[in-house]
Chain A
Amino acid sequence: MQYPANKQVIILNPKSDHLRMDPHKFALWLFLGTTFMLFAALTSAYIVKKGDGNWLDYELPQALWYSTALILVSSAAMHWAYRAASRDKTEHVKIGILSTLVLGVGFLGMQYYSWAGLVAQNVYFVGNPAGSFLYVFTGLHGLHLVSGIIFLAVVSVNAFRMKIHSGRLRQIEMCATYWHFLGILWVYLFVFLLMNH
């Protein structure tokens, strides 16, 4: 007998007797692990380099505080949207997702603005690694955030098509996981910078 290449068939083996997770969610977690390792590597590189001397001192731009606040609020909005979805309050889902999206874009804008704060201090991407590191942290995190925003956009389109409700939570759940992760990642980077500055 030929088995159709249908994913559901392939993934599930209903008679199995041990615990298993949704493979997509699980893969997302593993992906988060790789992203975390990337930033762990960069932040340890920062420490090693700093310990090495020849380090430039400058002020962390004020804008980073605001962007941190923005991303924390966006995480709350995301959570609210998710809770609304699991209770089938579709209107709230739409509002929640859209506000998350807007706050996310605002965060990106604020991060960009923080670069202006660096430039004002004569700290450029090209120059002493102390400054370059900050650009790399914010830039790379920003890139991940762009992917998060795309994910949010997909979810909001589905929200408007009424495709997100308590029976179909997986997508918004994965989106929420990713978004919270990006928030936590930023907080980690920010606290790290505050402490090692």
Chain B
Amino acid sequence: MAPEAQATLHEADAHGRDHEHEHHEDSFIRKYIFCTDHKMIAKQFLITGIFWAVIGGALSLIFRLQLGFPEMDLAWLQPVLGKWITAQGKLDPEFYLALVTMHGTIMVFFVLTAGLSGTFSNLLIPLQIGARDMASGFMNMLSYWLFFVSSVIMFGSMFVEAGPAGGGWVIYPPLSALPQAIKGSGLGMTLWLVSMVFFIASSLIGSINYISTVINMRTRGMKFSRLPLTIWAFFLTAIVGILSFPVLFAAALLLVFDRSFGTSFYLSEIYIGGEALPNVGGSPLLFQHLFWFLGHPEVYIVLLPALGITSEIIATNARKPIFGYKAMIGSMMGIAFLSFVVWAHHMFVSGMNPFLGSIFMLLTLIIAVPSAVKVFNYLTTLWRGNLVFTPAMLFSIGLLSFFISGGLTGIFLGNSAIDVQLHDTYFVVAHFHLVMGSAAFFGMVAGVYHWFPKLYGRMMDKKLGYLHFWITFIGAYMVFFPMHYIGIAGFPRRYYSFTNFDAFSSFADLNSFVSVAAVATVGVQFIFLFNFFYSMYRGRRAPKNPWRSNTLEWTTPVNPGHGNWEGEIPAVHRWPYDYSKPGASEDFIPQNVPLSETPESNLPHEKKALESKKK
């Protein structure tokens, strides 16, 4: 195999040289649409992700208006929402359910899974491991286009007569299985399922590609023990995805059969309008098990890439080696493994066997250990570092803050006895919007600020970045922190309105406060959007290595072409975190600098390795 391959390579290399003088312009279609270059695919994912984030954010504002100001006249939304605003200027209650469902689906899957992993795995895996592209450019392109088809279907579902899916992002049957139950279980639900099938296919193909690339295509010297933590995170995320998305597929498939063919996997002894349905023998709990077997790993699929991005940014901008590199990898592996054995903590009050509940409670609380290890390592990396507060760094520190505050409430929820009270209240909403929503969002934005120079060859504006950070950071806490109190007070989630309950009237002000904060926080994201698109064309031109970083992507030209490196791919001689190494003249030593060039800073074991090589 190897000699044959080498021959092909030389042939192709020679071929490349022959054509050096020819001017090669890819056609528009090859370059922007059916493109197999990983950097362009990353941009496609990013832009699509941003589009979805805008939609998802807008939906949340509509239902926040309803929750914060239930008496408000929403007639002004009629031009956009049409018949979903009643003649009295009120939001249609069933449409409210559709709004929360679509918001959840869009944010979890389309923004934080596809937008985050899709963008950064594609951009960084080849660049940081030293490869010319992904293992299969075709599969990579396919992955994006399946995501695109899935997006079109999901977007289209918002415009059908009966409205989009309305059963919550977890689409529990029997509600979601019976079209006659609510409007949102009709055509909208069907489209939701079809769209998710494409999404799952896209995600699986993407993950297969990421894993084969990381395993097979690292450059010389890039051992697993020298991989940047970003790559470790993407790699583990892809493995988790490969193991869990097929299970969601199974769950969805059986639901499709129940909905469209009349089987009874999830249905039994149901009466609608006094009339018994023919379905017997099924169990809705079955769906919950299958769904959460994906659903819990999914929250880590969302979070792990953000944690990887943050590790990289924090080490770079603290000008310090990451504290506990091996422990970071170990804890990510621990999280990845444990994420498969805790799913039933979402089902404590579902009627599941309580003994099983205690086992899952134990396993759930164990996950706090690797999570705490990670937090500790971030803090110790920051501790006494020469912190450089770039916007990316601020957003990374923001992620850390959310991970701590949201993780703590996870420990409450993980106790089945407490969860009986808190389940399906706004406390849960607060928990996961901090630990998953805000944290992963901050990780994604941090990544955009940090790697924008690599994506577009220009810098984003710093001042706007600071403004964006502070308002978003404070805003996110103002939105999600009060939800803990609202939840402890017993407000259930997914309720259209609380005005009929006297007990809740004393919290009306707090709900209005949350809504105002939400409008403001979503509003300032336009600063980011402006900064993003403006800098794309008008930003300051980026230097080659703007953050004085060690990883390989900064050894490529400012605007890397197809194949990433001109000439040979650099070899790797050290781990990626040689920041502020004692004795070194600079406070960073990129991975491609051989030990022989840095005798002044080599550690004893590196000296030994060098000597044994010479002999």
Listed in ascending order, the chain A residues whose CB lies under 8 Å from chain B are 1-18, 20-24, 26-27, 30-31, 33-35, 37-38, 40-42, 44-45, 48-49, 52, 54-56, 125-130, 132-133, 136, 140
Contacts and interface: CB of A to CB of B under 8 A. Distances in A.
**A-B CB proximity, top 10 nearest:** A3-B563, A41-B250, A37-B246, A23-B135, A41-B247, A38-B246, A128-B281, A8-B8, A20-B216, A30-B208
8 contacts: A4-B16, A9-B16, A17-B221, A27-B135, A38-B246, A40-B247, A48-B285, A136-B253
Contacts of A4: 12, 15-16, 19
Given A4-B15, A128-B280, A38 B562 contact: no
B384 interface: no
Contacts of B253: 136, 140
Contact of B137 (A7, A38, A136): A7
B5 A21 contact: no
B605 interface: no
Contacts of B245: 34
Given A5-B137, A48-B289, A129-B264, A34 B211 contact: no
Contacts of B281: 54-56, 127-130
Given A3-B132, A5-B36, A11 B217 contact: yes
A51 to B, nearest CB: 10
Interface centre among B12, B244, B293 (most CB of A within 10 A): B12
B112 to A, nearest CB: 21
Interface stretch (B61-69, B153-161, B254-262, B479-487): B254-262
B223 A18 contact: yes
A132 B211 contact: no
A16 B251 CA distance: 42
Contacts of A40: 247
B9 interface: yes
Interface string B194-233: 0000000000100111011101111111010000000000
B335 to A, nearest CB: 19
A35 B283 CA distance: 24
B208 A31 contact: yes
A41 B290 contact: yes
Nearest to B561: A2
Interface of B: 1-2, 5-6, 8-9, 12-13, 15-17, 19-20, 24, 36-37, 130-133, 135-137, 139, 204, 207-209, 211-213, 215-221, 223, 242-247, 249-251, 253-254, 257, 261-265, 268, 280-283, 285-286, 289-290, 293, 561-563, 566-567, 569, 571
B265 A132 contact: yes
Contacts of B207: 30
Given A20-B217, A132-B257, 18 more contacts: A2-B561, A3-B132, A4-B19, A6-B15, A9-B12, A10-B137, A13-B569, A14-B2, A20-B216, A23-B212, A26-B216, A34-B242, A38-B246, A38-B247, A41-B290, A45-B289, A125-B261, A132-B263
A188 B391 CA distance: 53
Given A23-B212, A125-B261, A128-B281, A34 B567 contact: no
Contacts of B132: 3, 9-10, 13
Given A27-B208, A37-B247, A3 B562 contact: yes
Nearest to B135: A23
Given A38-B250, A45-B286, A49-B283, A10 B563 contact: yes
A34 B246 CA distance: 6
Contact of A35 (B20, B37, B135, B246): B246
A31 B265 CA distance: 27
Nearest to A12: B5
Given A3-B132, A23-B135, A12 B204 contact: no
A41 B251 contact: yes
B219 A16 contact: yes
Contacts of B263: 125-127, 129, 132
A140 B211 CA distance: 26
A196 to B, nearest CB: 15
Given A17-B221, A30-B212, A37-B242, A12 B249 contact: no
A136 B218 contact: no
A129 B268 CA distance: 10
A37 B242 CA distance: 8
A15 B220 contact: yes
A58 to B, nearest CB: 13
